[in-house]
């Protein structure tokens, strides 16, 4: 009996060694997965689901079909500890009633502001909802952040993917054309969250889609992002008036609080007395990414965000010409004081930073900006990658 036990133990040791040396031998390799569960019912009676995407390394992204909202992104720090690094709420009711900050949401039809809540296309003036002072913001009163998207799993070569789709009807929120939109979230085994946007229309319209996730690489609810270090690949930015509409100038960042061409702390720029910072109560500006031309749609590194205490790094890659940077300037005492995250944490000003890849604000009214016109024989296509790592 002793000899048999010895042989069994030896066999197990050999099997374990083979499993460590040969991929797939003896012990199965870790694989990504998608799970779906009910998240709740909207006030209008629509069912909402939550999808949990997990990659082979345990990184996890949660997305709900209401607004296509990213509710959680869990990534490791330099010590291997996992934390949620995006801001959000704990319930569907909160997202419906309190999400004036657009936490984690898909934004459309037009991300950012349109001056005077109107624009002219092919000689026809279109009037939109003025939901941000005199201007239209993020698609109007019921933009893509407030609708329930259709969802299904999608194929991914290196990870797992979720496809969301929505048909925005002609003249919805004042925008012309039936716009058919598809957004694919892919969580790769390289710890990347890839967002692929596509859209088609049956009549000329404007389109500018983005995602409004806020990041705090120390972890959601841990406090200010002032000590985060930011690099932006932009020599120019678009100054704004006191309603945050671009003046049409593409101004150099050199010598301004917007000069992040080399990595620097966010806090000093947020606290600058510069008139532009005063207008936005902090950074709320579009950066003109360093491309050879506005026709260049190649994938490029737009920004790098780093948090030194825990060592998490976020790279932002995009095919877009612009990057809107917004540091949650209107939270806490500035706005609704009842903003609580999923961990029960009260959000104050500057607890997250949004890095919104996009075309420029007010482009429909600014002929010198990259065009946002979409025609019936064209397909709107753009990709953004959020790549997470540690130092």
Residues serving a catalytic function are 212, 356
Closest to 319 (Cα-Cα) out of 294, 284, 342: 294
Tokens 């934004």 correspond to what residue? 107
The CA R_g of the chain, rounded to the nearest whole Å, is: 23
Residue 54 CA to residue 193 CA, distance in Å, equals 11
| Angle, CA 301 vertex, CA 87 and CA 271 arms, to 5° | 50
Distances (CA, A) of 176 to 148, 173, 252: 20, 9, 35
Residue 316 CA to residue 302 CA, distance in Å, equals 6
Closest to 321 (Cα-Cα) out of 265, 282, 361, 374: 361
Task: Count the Cβ atoms, other than its own, within 10 Å of residue 23.
Answer: 8
Cα distance from N-terminal residue to C-terminal residue, the chain: 52
Max distance between CA atoms of the chain, in angstroms, equals 93
DSSP per-residue codes, 100-157: TT-TT-EE-SB-SEEGGGEEEETTEEEE----BTTBEETTSTT-GGGSBPEEEEE--T
Task: Count the Cβ atoms, other than its own, within 10 Å of residue 49.
Answer: 16
Strands 229-232 and 264-265: antiparallel
């Amino acid at each position: 009996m002793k000899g048999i036990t010895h042989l069994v133990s030896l066999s197990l040791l050999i099997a374990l060694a083979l499993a460590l040396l040969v991929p797939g031998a003896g012990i199965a390799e870790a694989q990504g997965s998608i799970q779906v569960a009910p998240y709740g019912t909207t006030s209008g009676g629509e069912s909402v689901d939550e999808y949990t995407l997990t990659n082979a390394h345990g990184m996890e992204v949660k997305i709900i079909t209401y607004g296509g909202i990213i509710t959680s992104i869990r990534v490791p720090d330099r010590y291997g500890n996992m934390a949620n690094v995006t801001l959000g709420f704990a319930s569907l009711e909160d997202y419906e009633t309190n999400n004036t900050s657009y936490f984690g949401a898909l934004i459309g039809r037009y991300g950012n502001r349109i001056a005077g809540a109107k624009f002219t296309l092919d000689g026809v003036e279109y009037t939109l909802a003025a939901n941000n002072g005199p201007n239209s913001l993020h698609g109007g009163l019921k933009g893509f952040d407030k609708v329930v998207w259709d969802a299904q799993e999608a194929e991914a070569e290196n990870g797992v993917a979720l496809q969301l789709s929505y048909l925005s009807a002609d003249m919805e929120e004042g925008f012309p054309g039936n716009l058919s939109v598809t957004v694919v979230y892919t969580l790769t085994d390289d710890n990347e969250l890839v967002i692929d946007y596509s859209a088609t229309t049956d009549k000329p319209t404007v389109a500018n889609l983005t995602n409004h996730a806020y990041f705090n690489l120390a972890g959601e609810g841990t406090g200010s992002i002032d000590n985060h270090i930011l690099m932006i690949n932009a020599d120019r930015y678009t100054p704004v008036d006191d309603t945050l509409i671009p003046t049409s100038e593409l101004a150099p960042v050199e010598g301004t609080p917007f000069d992040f061409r080399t990595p620097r702390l966010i806090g000093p720029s947020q606290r600058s007395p510069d008139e532009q910072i005063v207008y936005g109560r902090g950074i709320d500006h579009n950066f003109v990414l360093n491309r050879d031309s506005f026709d260049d749609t190649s994938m490029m590194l737009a920004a790098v965000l780093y948090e030194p205490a825990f060592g998490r790094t976020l790279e932002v890659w995009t095919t877009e010409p612009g990057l809107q940077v917004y540091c949650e300037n209107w939270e806490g005492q500035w706005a609704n004081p009842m903003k609580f995250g999923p961990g029960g944490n009260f959000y104050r000003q500057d607890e997250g930073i949004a890095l919104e890849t996009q075309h420029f604000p007010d482009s429909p009214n600014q002929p010198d900006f990259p065009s946002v016109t979409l025609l019936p024989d064209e397909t709107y296509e753009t990709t953004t990658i959020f790549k997470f790592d540690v130092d």
